[in-house]
Amino acid sequence: MQNKKNVKPKKNKIKAGNDASLAIYLFKNRSKKGIVNVFSLVLILGLCFTILYPILSLVPVVFSSIEELGNPNVIWIPLEGSTVSFKAAIRLAMPAGMMTMVKSVLYAAGIMVIQVFFSAMVGYALARVDFPGRKLVFALVIIVFLLPRQSLLLAQYIYFTHFDVFGIMDIFTAAGEIKLINNPIALVMLAVFGFGVNQSLFIFLFSQFFKNIPKELEEAALIDGCGFYRTYFKIMIPNAVPIISTVGILSFVWNYGDTYYTNYFNPDGGYMSTILTTTFNTANKEYIQNAVRVWYEIPLVTDMAFDAVKQAAVLIFLIPLAVVYLIGQRKLVENMENSGLVG
């Protein structure tokens, strides 16, 4: 009887000890999670502030009246709101009105379609087709991606200045060549032959994506009587929608904001990116200040007016990119893990 009485208090002590250990463990676990959550929140807020601060700091500049620019009393909210900076920016950055932006968007969208179409084909061939020299071709794609664009510029510029294919131009022209500089065909040809803006990266992404697709899909299509091209267009392309959307968004954004290829191969194309770089050059500061003074009858225009108009033009330029981001940002985030970057 005494042994039974002694056992019961021991069991109660053990149970109490286990409960205390469990409580301590839960407290530590919750504390760790709480600290991690607080740290993550602070980090995210800090990153958001770092990213958004340059945009937020534009508000008191672009929405202030020209006379108020540089006023030390204006920090975040203008004393007197004005849209003069935007009006001047539209007149300077969009000489053809809305058609300037429409032309830029159509150009970026057209090059995007070409880059996606040809990059997908090349990526599929490198991933699935076993042909002689495949590894060499893939290595060349990587080398082109790693090489600075400036190293290829001279050869490309000379090629498009004296364009000829196997002497065929002798049939059509007396000079035996045609000049494609300052012609949008040059930009289209760069995209067709895989030398567009960051196109080697797109080929790599497609190649890595197609490598991760099970071969059983192609085998099943072959059994059903599908040939090579039908398998590609009916089976592989529908399964490649994630990478197509990712590459499409990146291609549009990079081509819309490109100033390198457009400045060299089609400088008179009238794209907003090139207009911004040429118009808002420091050498044109006095011209822009005088234009604002005359257009809007402002007696005193300082150097701050040049910065305000330039920043307003940048905000206008970003409108199509913001629309594309709002439409495609969820797809982009969801599909990055399927794009081959982690494969």
Note the pLDDT tens digit of each residue in 3-13: 554 555 555 55
- pLDDT given for residue 8 in this prediction: 52
Question: In this model, does residue 340 exceed pLDDT 50?
Answer: no
Question: In this model, does residue 209 exceed pLDDT 50?
Answer: yes
Q: How far apart are CA 245 and CA 252, in angstroms?
A: 11
Burial class (CB in 10 A: 0-12, 13-18, 19+), 229: exposed
Collapsed DSSP state (helix, strand, coil) of residue 342 = coil
- pLDDT given for residue 199 in this prediction: 92
Question: In this model, does residue 343 exceed pLDDT 80?
Answer: no
- pLDDT given for residue 342 in this prediction: 43
Note the pLDDT tens digit of each residue in 139-183: 999 998 888 888 888 888 998 888 888 777 777 777 778 888 998
Do the Cβ atoms of 315 and 94 come closer than 8 Å?
Answer: no
Question: In this model, does residue 116 exceed pLDDT 90?
Answer: yes
Helix (H) or strand (E) holding 113: helix 98-128
Backbone angles phi, psi at 178, to 5 degrees: -130, 155
Q: How far apart are CA 47 and CA 38, in angstroms?
A: 14
Kindly state the percentage of the chain with pLDDT values over 70: 88
DSSP string, 182-226: TSHHHHHHHHHTT-STTHHHHHHHHHHHHHTS-THHHHHHHHTT-
Cα distances (Å, whole numbers) of residue 194 to 73, 98, 141, 215, 286: 53, 31, 9, 26, 42
Note the pLDDT tens digit of each residue in 56-91: 777 778 888 877 777 777 667 777 778 888 889 999
- pLDDT given for residue 120 in this prediction: 94
Token pair of 165, please? 């294919």
Cα distances (Å, whole numbers) of residue 128 to 124, 134, 135: 6, 10, 12
pTM of structure: 0.80
Q: What is the DSSP letter of 134?
A: H
- Residues 191, 196, 201, 207, Cα dihedral to 10°: 10
- pLDDT given for residue 305 in this prediction: 86
| Three-class HEC string of 27-73 | HHHHHHHHHHHHHHHHHHHHHHHHHHHHHHCCHHHHCECHHHCCCCC
Token pair of 45, please? 């807020």
| Furthest C-alpha separation in the chain | 121
- pLDDT given for residue 118 in this prediction: 95
The region of weakest confidence among 16-25, 40-49, 292-301 is: 16-25
pLDDT confidence band for 125 (50 / 70 / 90): very high
Collapsed DSSP state (helix, strand, coil) of residue 95 = coil
Q: How far apart are CA 85 and CA 105, in angstroms?
A: 23
